[in-house]
């Protein structure tokens, strides 16, 4: 059994070391890095347990932590004590569960809340309101600034109809192609909507 515990410890410790060195640990801590076990609770109520909304209980991080602690404690107890095999296994399992629990709490409380899933709708430019910061010349390129996903951004812009748009004008993006936002003054868009409503 001593050899078994030592092998489990070495494998668990090696995998843990590899994940931290290569950065795979961050992905394992992410929203989809788990093995799917415990996923029902993760996809269920948000905040019921006080942990991250999608942190599965069993994932690569907690499994390798369990293996490391289980193997280490099992090896020490079986080498330096005369306890029966069942007691040694029980102590090693409890130690492994404690180690895995510590890793889970760190993942759910510290790492998972910082990993915000990207929603493509939050970065969809058409329909976004902005303001011209660099005058858009006729058939030329200027710049607009807009707020999206809680941050202030800027993008190269042209007038959708080829006309010039002076700095400070509030515009709405009609389409986004090749890194260029094609915009039109908001006043014109509002007038067009009012005209179509009346007809």
**Model confidence at 171: pLDDT above 80:** yes
Question: What's the burial of 12, exposed, middle or buried (CB within 10 Å: 0-12/13-18/19+)?
Answer: buried
DSSP 8-state assignment for residue 125? -
pLDDT tens sequence across 18-31: 877 765 444 444 44
Higher pLDDT, 116 or 65: 65
- Specify the pLDDT at position 112: 63
Whole-model pTM? 0.42
Average pLDDT over every residue of 87-113: 81
Token pair belonging to 15 = 């995998």
Tell me the domain boundaries of the chain: 2-114, 120-187
Q: Is it true that domain 120-187 has CATH number 2.40.50.140?
A: yes
- Looking up tokens 């430019």 gives 125
| For the chain, percent of residues with pLDDT exceeding 70 | 70
Least confidently predicted of 39-53, 60-74, 144-158: 39-53
- Length of the chain, in residues: 199
Contacts 24+ apart (CB under 8 A), 45-53: 51/104, 51/105, 51/108, 51/109, 51/112, 52/107, 52/108, 52/109, 52/111, 52/112, 52/113, 53/112
DSSP 8-state assignment for residue 107? I
């Amino acid at each position: 059994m001593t050899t078994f515990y030592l092998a489990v410890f070495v494998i668990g410790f090696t995998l843990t070391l590899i994940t931290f060195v290569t950065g795979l640990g961050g992905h394992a801590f992410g929203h989809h890095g788990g093995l799917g076990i415990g996923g029902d609770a993760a996809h269920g109520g948000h905040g019921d347990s006080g942990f991250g909304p999608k942190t599965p209980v069993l994932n690569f991080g907690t499994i390798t932590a369990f293996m490391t602690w289980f193997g280490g404690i099992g090896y020490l107890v079986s080498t330096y004590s005369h306890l029966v095999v069942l007691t040694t296994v029980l102590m090693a399992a409890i130690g492994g569960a404690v180690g895995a629990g510590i890793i889970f709490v760190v993942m759910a409380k510290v790492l998972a809340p910082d990993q915000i899933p990207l929603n493509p709708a939050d970065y969809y430019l058409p329909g976004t309101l902005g303001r011209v910061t660099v005058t858009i010349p006729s058939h030329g390129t200027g710049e607009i600034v807009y707020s999206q996903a809680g941050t202030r951004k800027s993008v190269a812009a042209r007038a959708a109809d080829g006309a010039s748009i002076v700095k400070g004008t509030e515009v709405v993006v009609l389409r986004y192609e090749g890194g260029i936002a094609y915009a039109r003054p908001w006043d014109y868009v509002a007038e067009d909507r009012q005209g179509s409503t009346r007809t």
